Amino acid sequence: MIGCLGPYPIVATGSLSPSLSKSCNETFRNKQFLAKQQSVCLTSVFKNHQGCNGSYFPSKRSISKRGRSSSKISTVLTDDKSTMSSFEDDAENIGIFRIDPGLEPYKDHFRYRVKRYVEQKKLIEKHEGGLEEFAKGYLKFGFNREENGIIYREWAPAAQEAQLIGDFNGWDGSNHRMEKNQFGVWSIKIHDCDGNPAIPHNSRVKFRFKHGDGVWVDRIPAWIKYATVDPTRFAAPYDGVYWDPAPLERYQFKYPRPPKPSAPRIYEAHVGMSSSESRINSYREFADDILPRIQANNYNTVQLMAVMEHSYYASFGYHVTNFFAVSSRSGTPEDLKYLIDKAHSLGLRVLMDVVHSHASINVIDGLNGFDVGQGSQDSYFHSGERGYHKLWDSRLFKYDNWEVLRFLLSNLQWWIEEFKFDGFRFDGVTSMLYHHHGINMTFTGNYSEYFSEATEMDAVVYLMLANCLIHNILPDATVIAEDVSGMPGLGLPVSEGGIGFDYRLAMAIPDKWIDYLKNKKDDEWSMKDICWSLTNRRYTEKCVSYAESHDQAIVGDKTMAFLLMDKEMYSGMSCLTDASHTIERGIALHKMIHFLTMALGGEGYLNFMGNEFGHPEWIDFPREGNGWSYERCRRQWNLVDTDHLRYKFMNAFDRAMNLLDDKFSFLSSTKQIVSSTNEEEKVIVFERGDLVFVFNFHPENTYEGYKVGCDLPGKYRVALDSDAWEFGGHGRVGHDVDHFTSPEGIPGVPETNFNNRPNSFKILSPSRACVVYYRVEESQEEDNNSTLVGVKDAYAASDIAKNPEGYVESEVSNLTGVEETLDDAATVVEITEEQAYTGSEGSKGKTEDAKIPSDVAKNLEGSAFVENEVSGLIEVKETAAGSDIREIP
């Protein structure tokens, strides 16, 4: 990761302003490790390996009153006689300390964490036969077919009596009384009638029990696999449904899981709001109509929101009522299986937005209905304030309870095994990690904020078990954490002392862009501050970056396109008229912001449905306040499908961004070097992999003969150009120009190089545009444009997306192909072509900024470039044991 010197990690937290508080700076001066203040982009803000951040943590689903700072460990989960594995015995040498020696003062915390994890895992192995067997609770609890009947089991220790009721017995449970064992589990076997199940498939069922007050209540079974509501009744409660289709009616998967990509390019989607019509869309319609669009835009992963049943639609799926049931608004479990299988057939992996951080407060149709005032050891949730999230208005799980662990771990295995999900995005992880849930908490990067009595160790151990389970079941799973705090080790393997996630969301990045768009004029944008925010992440812990997700467009805010262009999007998006200044600026910055976020912000990329083409307005689910309208709870695909509207330009560029990573795999590259952040020229130059990226944010200035540094010598050509005609640009860059490098200074002596790069070449850098250059290998000499990502790739895929059943010839006739525009483009930049060969500079090709110290390196995931005081640049390459340091010749 970029952001500190040497192989030490930094803390990736929220957005950071160059102007830090005095107390924050003083904190860093007292630390052992002080960075030399020579780092490009980071000089004014970075002080040590822990990082510093003034990020405040409010959230739309944000956070409750501070809980107790410590918790009693349940006797259910500990065993004094248990022995420690070698993992725990070797706590002195846990891998995380080799990666980050700054964590040494917190060794006791990690030792205790590992001890708790190992003890819990051993108890599960001893009493349940192993973690995977333990997580097959869905084969024991709820409804399951056994010989000559159906067995129903429910954990409800607070119940005094219990019955099973439903359509099958006329809702009279007197003949279907259940029995309770010593663990509080109720069970009953309903024998078949004449060889047929006594409970018909797709019929309603409920669990009726009497609690301590002598009151009988009806609840939806906790492990129910399907729940529905009467659509003719307003605000009707949900009913549990017994789901056991006949073999011929059960969906059979046809396609294997796609291989795990080197870097996930994630399309975040909400099935219900994916229709262009004002209604709820179905799983099958999404599969047939939307998945081809996602594939055409070269994403490799779909992340589905709101899959778990939630009775309140406007909760965006985050107030879950039935954890094992698919959301019935969009169809049946078999319909969801069809969607996932269809995605796999298109080469798309599917992640699920899983919510284990809290549960809906609903009593009649939610898990909360099993809490009838009993002690927390007999409940899914903590009692009192600790079990209630005041700002989320939801219940909080008791993660050290044996049956809660069984329920949640089984939930994960259920979705993987039954529905073939390829991984998860865990929601609300920050709330899980701390007793204070992050409320009103400023995470400055001081390690004491992460490792103290404020840490919710029960939840940490659960997450370690969850990640261990997921990767045992599906080694190629992708698991992402939504965490804003930047807890060190969250994205490291459990075997290294981490919590085990594959990625964390880079949640500070969209906040930074919103701050710039709302509060800064274009000439006030700081290239260094932008780069700092994009690269502020921990060494060896991968991030998924995004410029905007569903969060940024919730009612009360706007999509990025609408922030940029606002009401002019209603009248100024037609190609039949000249674009206004607002529209030109908006489209240009929309492309640049999303691409810079992708290229520099992490090891994966995420886009929310519709934002790829600049969806206008905001998201507002049907509710009383808007007259229960679906008008802004849909996606207007007609905007991007209408050929004379400018939305197609942003969509084509989004497709080209993803295609560029397909061709060059820059997202997974550990080589990431920011060589220049020129504040006066508003230009950012960096390398990712072997590509050279140049972003010119200046609103007016185009620089001819602009000199950019690079690593490898040779010939470079354009790989992607946001200013190309097919992306709504002005075609100012010639795509047939060969840019030859010139050596800079003494090899191996970075202070003699240009911006610490041993080679350079000259380009035309248009205002408000970004251009990517690739090094031409000998094998590519025969085809000058074989690697250019442009109009042919973009529109061929667009046609397929519009007509997924068969290729339809594009009706786009007013846009010419790359080959036809090259001559015109080359004429515009004729002087640049000459300069590319002669090495001459244009009148605006200023290079004074080269004196900005840039020999200090930036940490990368798996690789870091650092200053070597003796011999120049050193490349640090991660090995299984830590880092292997070797000198670059």
User: Which residues are part of the catalytic machinery?
Assistant: 427, 482
CA atoms of 290 and 298, how far apart (whole Å): 13
3-state secondary structure of 637: helix
One-letter amino acid for residue 405 of the chain: L
Per DSSP (E only), the strands in 229-348 are: 239-242, 265-270, 301-305, 308-309, 322-326
3-state secondary structure of 819: helix
CA atoms of 109 and 213, how far apart (whole Å): 43
Helix, strand, coil share (%) of the chain residues, nearest 5: 30, 20, 45
CA atoms of 404 and 407, how far apart (whole Å): 5
Q: Is the peptide bond before 499 cis (omega within 30 degrees of 0)?
A: no
CA 146 to chain centroid, in Å, comes to 40
- Determine how many CB atoms are found less than 10 A away from the CB of residue 783: 9
- Tell me which residue of 110, 111, 122, 113 sits closest to 81, measured CA to CA: 122
CA atoms of 233 and 256, how far apart (whole Å): 41
CA atoms of 784 and 157, how far apart (whole Å): 72
Strand-pair partners of 227? 240
- Determine how many CB atoms are found less than 10 A away from the CB of residue 189: 15
**Residue 273 tokens, joined:** 């709001």
- Determine how many CB atoms are found less than 10 A away from the CB of residue 347: 13
Please give the C-alpha separations between residue 621 and each of 283, 630, 633, 816, 834, in angstroms, as whole numbers: 18, 6, 5, 41, 56
Is residue 135 within 8 Å of 124, Cβ to Cβ? Answer: no
CA atoms of 43 and 230, how far apart (whole Å): 61
Is residue 604 within 8 Å of 265, Cβ to Cβ? Answer: yes
CA atoms of 244 and 249, how far apart (whole Å): 9
